[in-house]
């Protein structure tokens, strides 16, 4: 039931430019699941504070910390989707910092003062409700940071290429099939690759916001990359549906579906690396 409710809130948020009736100051936090790596999106009430976004692990007053909190800290980052002020939404790459006990108590008390439901959550929870500051990526302060991010992106692309090659080798019968259930484990590897690729692109969407702010000339290239991401996301959804369908054990069928999924992916990686690297490489400024 909670997942259905969250899904409805997410749909209304995106359809209405980040506004959902009855939920002021809402953002969508997306993190990777700790066990599956699958992207998980959660609507959260937030409060902006000195350029950061404070979110509260109240979990509706439940006795345990929410899953998003544990996933976020385990992943070390995620994306926060907020209204863009123009009737749409925009994703920001964010770095989580859990507040120390003194600041946590002060900020939670202020949130409870503004939104009394948070005082009720604290009374029911019987635990210290964590408060996490989400710091959006800012490329203006450190001249070396953009190039470092692109270097990390290229390493991640290399890892995705390696995973893809391993999958193709296995599907072609070059690599030995894992035991004890080759078909099930092959599907699991395909699914793991899909989740990793999906989360990679979600994180990139957040980074693109910072790159476009820092390098406005990248706008056309980033528009193309965002369109590529939408195409890949649709293909991922189809492939995941295929993996869950009867008859998905045939390696030849899986290979054909995987090829359709990754068609053009190498060109996408190369285009992205070329344009982001060219913009962010250290060079004299006029």
Q: List, for residues 41-62, the tens digit of each pLDDT value.
A: 999 999 999 999 999 999 999 9
pLDDT at 141 over 90: no
pLDDT at 247 over 70: no
What pLDDT digit, counting tens, does each position of 163-212 carry? 988 888 887 775 555 545 566 777 788 889 889 999 999 999 999 999 99
Q: How many angstroms separate the Cα of 176 from the Cα of each of 169, 171, 172?
A: 9, 10, 10
What pLDDT digit, counting tens, does each position of 13-41 carry? 999 999 998 888 999 999 999 998 999 99
Of residues 3 and 286, the one with the higher pLDDT is 3
The predicted model scores a pTM of 0.90
Q: In this predicted structure, what is the pLDDT of residue 246?
A: 73
Which residue ranges does the chain devote to CATH 1.20.120? 145-280
Mean pLDDT of the 78-106 span: 96
Q: In this predicted structure, what is the pLDDT of residue 100?
A: 97
Domain 145-280 sits in CATH 2.60.120: no
Residue 236: band (very low, low, confident or very high) from pLDDT cuts 50, 70, 90: confident
Domain 2-136 top-level CATH class: mainly beta
Which residue ranges does the chain devote to CATH 2.30.110.10? 2-136
**What is the largest distance, in Å, between two alpha-carbon atoms of the chain?**
63
Residues 6+ apart with CB under 8 A from 260: 235, 239
The H or E element that residue 162 is part of is helix 145-171
């Amino acid at each position: 039931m909670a997942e259905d409710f969250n899904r409805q809130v997410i749909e209304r948020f995106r359809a209405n430019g980040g506004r959902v009736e009855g939920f002021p100051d809402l953002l969508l936090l997306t993190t990777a699941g700790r066990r599956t790596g699958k992207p998980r999106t959660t609507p959260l009430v937030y409060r902006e504070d000195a350029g950061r976004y404070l979110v509260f692990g109240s979990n509706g007053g439940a006795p345990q910390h929410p899953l998003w909190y544990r996933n976020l800290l385990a992943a070390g980052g995620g994306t926060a989707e907020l209204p863009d002020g123009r009737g749409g939404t925009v994703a920001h790459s964010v770095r989580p910092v859990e507040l120390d006990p003194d600041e946590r108590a002060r900020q939670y008390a202020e949130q409870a003062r503004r939104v009394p439901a948070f005082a009720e959550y604290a009374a029911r929870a019987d635990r210290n409700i964590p408060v996490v500051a989400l710091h959006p990526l800012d490329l203006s302060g450190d001249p070396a940071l953009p190039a470092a991010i692109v270097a990390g992106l290229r390493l991640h692309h290399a890892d995705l290429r390696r995973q893809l090659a391993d999958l193709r080798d296995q599907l072609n019968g070059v690599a030995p099939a894992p035991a004890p259930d080759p078909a099930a484990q092959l599907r699991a590897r395909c699914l793991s690759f899909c989740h990793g690729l999906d989360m990679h692109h979600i994180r990139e969407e957040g980074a693109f916001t910072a790159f476009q702010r820092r390098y406005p000339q990248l706008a056309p290239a980033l528009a193309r990359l965002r369109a590529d991401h939408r195409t890949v996301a649709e293909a991922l959804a189809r492939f995941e549906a295929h993996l869950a369908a009867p008859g998905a054990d045939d390696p030849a069928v899986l290979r054909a579906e995987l090829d359709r999924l990754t068609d053009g992916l190498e060109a996408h990686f190369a285009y992205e690396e070329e344009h982001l690297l060219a913009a962010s490489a250290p060079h004299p400024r006029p």
